[in-house]
Amino acid sequence: MLVTIPDVLKADEVAHLRRVLESTEWVDGRVTAGDQAVKVKKNLQVPIDSPVAQELGQIVLRALAANPKFMTATLPLRVLPPMFNRYDEGMTFGAHVDGSIRAIPGTGQRLRTDVSSTLFLTPPEDYDGGELVVHDTYGTHTVKLPAGHMVVYPATSMHSVTPVTRGSRWASFFWTQSMVKDDWQRHMLYDLDLSIMSIRSRLPDDDAAVVGLTAHYHNLLRQWAET
């Protein structure tokens, strides 16, 4: 399930992140790549243990916690602290699948990467290329969103970033371990929750249809969730 989420960050939040990132240190992005991905990865990243990454990551996490669409699409159990990358001219990331397990910095804990997220920080008119391309059983999806918008998709998906041919493409990226491991089950719950929200906008909360569907949603979540 690929879901785009608009306006995760407000314009002033995007501007603040950009100002801070413009004056921070960037390193070769291959430092966080696995054995296979390192061969096809060419970008820059902010060091994951830097104070800047931690400060800006908290801004992103607060925005995610306040975003109903992110919560219902991912059903997060844990979110890896957000990281930040950039693709300057000529930079790209070839086709790969994200690693299944990642360490949570400074905790000794590990996180299963169920859902991948890319939060765009550069307006699309400021660069050419740099599209996120996600491959799944329904075909190929090309994603290039306005600054402050985000896409989430199964971490099991093969994906790539096309070469940047003009400008520079900046983003925040991170992974979520969902309470519901199976993507198909998450998709079913997401569609059901959207239907419930639509019905609630037209009927009172104590209507039998609203109560029944809400109960069905929570009973399915109870059946499938891992905590």
Domain spans in the chain, listed from the N-terminal domain onward: 3-178, 183-224
pLDDT of residue 61: 98
* Contact call for residues 163 and 41 (beta carbons, < 8 A): no
Dump the DSSP string for 55-109. Answer: HHHHHHHHHHHT-HHHHHHH-EEEEPPPEEEEE-TT-EEEEE---SEEE-TTT--
Per-residue pLDDT of the chain (227 residues; tens, 9 = 90+): 999 999 999 999 999 999 999 999 999 998 877 676 778 999 999 999 899 999 999 999 999 999 999 999 999 999 999 999 999 999 999 999 999 999 998 888 999 999 999 999 999 999 999 999 999 888 899 999 999 999 999 999 999 999 999 999 999 999 999 999 999 999 999 999 999 999 999 999 999 999 999 999 999 999 999 98
Which residues touch 46 (CB under 8 Å, ≥6 apart)?
A: 21, 24, 25, 26, 27, 52, 53, 56, 83, 84, 85
Strand order in the sheet with 139-143: 41-42, 92-96, 158-161, 132-136, 139-143
The yes/no answer on whether domain 3-178 falls in CATH 2.60.120.620 is yes
Predicted TM-score of the model (pTM) = 0.95
The crossing angle, in degrees rounded to 10, of helices 208-224 and 183-200 is 160
Residue tagged 């550069």 (tokens): 122
pLDDT of residue 7: 98
Residue tagged 């104070």 (tokens): 51
Structure tokens at 216: 């069905």
